[in-house]
Every structure is written in C-alpha cells, then in structure tokens.
C-alpha cells in the first residue's frame, strides 16, 4: 500500500494520549471478537440487530461496541459496551492491545485517521458499513482527498447506503474502491414465526372474511377498539376482530366483558375457533403474534392511544405484510413510527373517532395493501442491508482465519 504524506501528517497530529476506557477486559469466551464502532449519526438499534444476526448464525462470536449513544441496548448477551475512543494513537493502541479484535466495523460517515491506520497496520480487516456520504461530507473531504484516498483504500469493504454516497466516495478515493450499495442498516424486525399448519387451517376457516387485529390491546384501548369494530361491521358485516390483549391472562375477563355487550366471542385459550358467527376472537395465548399478523391485513398497535402506555414494535406487523394503524403515543418507538409514516407505510390516528374512520377506509383492500407493501419495503430494505454487512464481516473473518492457518 502506498504511503501517504497526508496520512503521515494526520498521525503526527494524533500522537499522544487522550481520554479513553481504562481497566478493560475482553468479553468472556474464546470465539472471534467483532469490534463495532458506529459514529454519532448512526442509530445503535440497527447495529445491535446486525450483531444479533451474526450471533444467531455463529454463537461463539463475541462483540465489543464503542459508542456514546445514550440508548445502546439490544446487543447480544455478553457484549462489552465502551465509550467512543478518541482518535489518538495511545488510547487506540491500548484498546487494540487489550481487545485484539478479529474484524473491525465502522458505521457511518466518519473516517478517523488514527483508528483506521492502527487497525489496518495490525492486520485487522476493516469494514466501513452504513456509509452515507452527503454533499456536505464530500465538500468537507474534497480538500483532503489524499487523506481520504489513503483511509478508504485500507477498508476491505465499503457498504454505501445509496448511489449518491457510492459516487461521492469514488470521487474521493478512486473508482476501484470495493464499494457495494446495500441501503441503510436500519432497525427492523425479523418475521415472527408461526405454526404453518395452524395458519393454513385458520385461513381456510376465515375464507374471504375481512379481518383486523388489535395487537397488545390494553384495557385503556378496549372502548376505542370495540367502537371501531362496531363502525366497521356496519359496512362489512362478516368482519372479524382478532383482539390480542397485552396481558394474555386478561383473556377470560375480556371475553366475558365483550360477550356481556352482545358480541359473539371466541377465546383462543379455550381452544375455541373463529367460526362464521364469531365477531371478536380473543387471541390470549403466548408466542402466537406471528400467526395473527399473518392473518390480519390491518393491525392497530395497542398501547398507542394513551399517555404512559407503550406497545410492541410496529416493525413486527410491517415485516409480515399487515397495514399499520397507531395512535399519538409513540414512545419508545418514535423512530420506528417516523420511518414507517415517512414511507407511507403506517397511518396515525388521534383517538377513537379517527381509529374508526381509518379502519373503515382501509376495509378497501387496495388501500390496506398499499400501506402493507410500503411497510414491507421498509423492513426488507433494512434487513437486506444488515444481511449484506453480516456477509462481508464473516467473509473477512474467514479470510483472516485462513491466513492465520497458512
């Protein structure tokens, strides 16, 4: 690799010590160690799901994450979380001497010169993932193109969020850079599983009935959900509500309460079926949300209508092709709802009246299908980017292992 005067100057400026973690101990185990270093612009949730994806396929992998994100959770068990490292040679060398990572993954648009040089110099494969290079990023780096070329050339793979980032990175570092456009590594949800035989049996029983789901329904939601169902059933008299209570043990109470109001009710925990006359089916069993999302073209996210409550991740129904309705209480899923709403993949309602209106509107299959398709595009894109990153990480690990064995 060619020496770079610009890089030499950057390393000269990075000499000396700086603040950084001390008393470090590598994560337990003897499996390969993956170092994940997202920059300040990279949401940690997507990186956490990337780590989870890697761990599922390779249980021996260990992870150390350096980040200053305030909510860096969701990482695999045993992950070591450390503050971001200063781009100074002494703390970086101390970190690398202690951790001895097998693969390093930078995420975002930052190109820390000392970190990239020191990691590469030790033979650690370096992957730049989730790289979104804006026009402002390019303008900031174009006057230091020699340094950018030296840093980018030390990356084993560069995974760009979009074609514009690809183009700008190549203008900085050369047309031969190992860049792949993968999309952003966003937080998503892997499709929840279900019993396929059970799904087929229930789908045959429901036939062409219109179906909607109230997921993780809380007591505070019940009036609004039943009022919306009463309104919708006037236009589609065969419509079925699958009501999944947030606390499954509430099922019998809920069934008694709804039956007392004159509804025809069936209870899953009593092995009752949603026969033709049933208007509300109480899904009060554990671990079957993947089944209900698959059966319902429209899902209302319970826990989103009232303050101090919270519901399940909206990426769950999105990944399984169900259109999403939700209320004004988005915490702690604000980022997820913002992504889905921005992609026209979910519809926000302000309260009981709007929930009923939106449900009636979505009875038209084409409208529900459009929302559901947009939601699926959002989740499949994030999952595809994470899959591509995982593939490059494992390939780099394999090459490093093969070199060590030679």
How would CATH label the architecture of 196-380? 3-Layer(aba) Sandwich (3.40)
Same topology for domains 5-185 and 196-380, yes or no?
yes
Q: What is the pLDDT of residue 119?
A: 96
Q: What is the pLDDT of residue 291?
A: 96
Token readout for 136 is 């402002």
Class of domain 5-185: alpha beta
Q: What is the pLDDT of residue 321?
A: 85
Q: What is the pLDDT of residue 309?
A: 67
Global pTM value = 0.66
**Domain residue limits, the chain:** 5-185, 196-380
Instruction: Encode the chain (406 residues) as per-residue pLDDT tens digits.
Output: 556 788 888 888 888 777 766 678 899 999 999 999 998 888 788 888 899 889 988 999 999 999 887 766 789 999 999 999 988 998 899 999 999 999 999 998 899 999 999 999 999 999 999 998 999 998 988 888 889 999 999 999 999 988 899 999 999 888 899 999 888 887 666 778 899 999 999 999 998 899 999 999 999 999 999 999 999 999 889 999 999 999 999 999 999 999 999 999 999 999 999 999 999 999 999 999 999 999 999 999 999 998 866 678 898 898 888 999 999 998 877 878 887 888 888 999 998 889 999 998 887 667 888 888 887 777 766 667 888 899 999 999 998 888 876 5
Q: What is the pLDDT of residue 312?
A: 86
Mapping DSSP onto H, E and C, the string for the chain reads: CCCCHHHHHHHHHCCCCCCCCCCCCCCCCCCCEEEEEECCCCCHHHHHHHHHHHHHHCCCCEEEEECCCCCCCCCCCCCEEECCCCCCHHHHHHHHHHHCCCEEEEECCCCCHHHHHHHHHCCCCEEEEEECCCHHHHHHHHCCHHHHHHHHCCCCEEEECCHHHHHHHHHHHCCCCCEEECCCCCCCCCCCCCCHHHHHHHHHHHCCCCEEEEEEECHHHHHHHHHHHHHHHHHCCCCEEEEEECCHHHHHHHHHHHHHCCCCEEEHHHCCCCCCCCCEEECCCCCCHHHHHHHCCEEEECCCCCCCCCCCCCHHHHHCCCEEEECCCCCCCHHHHHHHHHCCCEEECCCHHHHHHHHHHHCCHHHHHHHHHHHHHHHHHHHHHHHHHHHHHHHHHHHHHHHHHC
Q: What is the pLDDT of residue 337?
A: 87
Q: What is the pLDDT of residue 385?
A: 80
């Amino acid at each position: 690799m060619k020496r770079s005067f610009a890089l030499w100057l950057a390393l000269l400026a990075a000499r000396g010590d700086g603040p950084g973690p001390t008393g470090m101990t590598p994560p337990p185990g003897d499996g390969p160690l993956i170092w994940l270093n997202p920059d300040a612009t990279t949401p940690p949730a997507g990186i956490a799901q990337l780590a989870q994806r890697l761990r599922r396929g390779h249980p021996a992998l260990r992870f150390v994450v350096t980040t200053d994100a305030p909510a860096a959770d969701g990482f695999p068990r045993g992950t070591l979380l450390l503050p971001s490292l200063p781009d100074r040679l002494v703390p970086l060398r101390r970190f690398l001497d202690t951790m001895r990572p097998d693969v390093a993954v930078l995420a975002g648009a930052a190109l820390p010169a000392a970190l990239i040089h020191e990691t590469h110099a030790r033979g650690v494969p370096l992957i730049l993932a989730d790289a979104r290079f804006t026009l402002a990023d390019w303008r900031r780096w174009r006057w230091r193109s020699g340094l950018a070329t030296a840093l980018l050339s030390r990356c084993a793979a560069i995974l760009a969020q979009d074609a514009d980032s690809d183009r700008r990175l190549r203008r900085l570092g050369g047309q031969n850079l190992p860049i792949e456009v993968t999309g952003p590594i966003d937080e998503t949800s892997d499709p929840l599983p279900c019993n396929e035989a059970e799904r087929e049996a229930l789908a045959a029983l429901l036939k062409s009935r219109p179906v909607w789901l109230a997921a993780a329904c809380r007591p505070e939601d019940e009036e609004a959900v039943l009022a919306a169902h009463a309104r919708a059933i006037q236009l589609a008299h065969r419509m079925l509500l699958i009501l999944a209570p947030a606390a499954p043990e509430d099922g019998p109470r809920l069934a008694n309460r709804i039956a007392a109001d004159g509804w025809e009710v069936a209870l899953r925990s009593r092995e009752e079926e949603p026969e033709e006359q049933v208007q509300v089916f109480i899904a009060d069993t554990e671990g079957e949300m993947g089944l209900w999302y698959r059966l319902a073209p429209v899902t209302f996210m319970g826990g989103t209508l009232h303050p101090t409550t919270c519901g399940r991740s909206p990426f769950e129904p999105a990944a399984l092709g169900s259109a999403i309705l939700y209320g004004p209480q988005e915490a702690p899923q604000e980022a997820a709802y913002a992504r889905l709403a921005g992609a026209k993949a979910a519809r926000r309602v302000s309260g009981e009246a709007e929930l009923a209106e939106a449900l009636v509107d979505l009875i038209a299959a084409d409208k529900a299908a459009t929302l559901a398709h947009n939601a699926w595009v959002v989740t499949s894109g994030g999952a595809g980017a994470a899959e591509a990153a995982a593939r490059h990480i494992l390939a780099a690990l394999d090459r490093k292992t093969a070199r060590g064995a030679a």
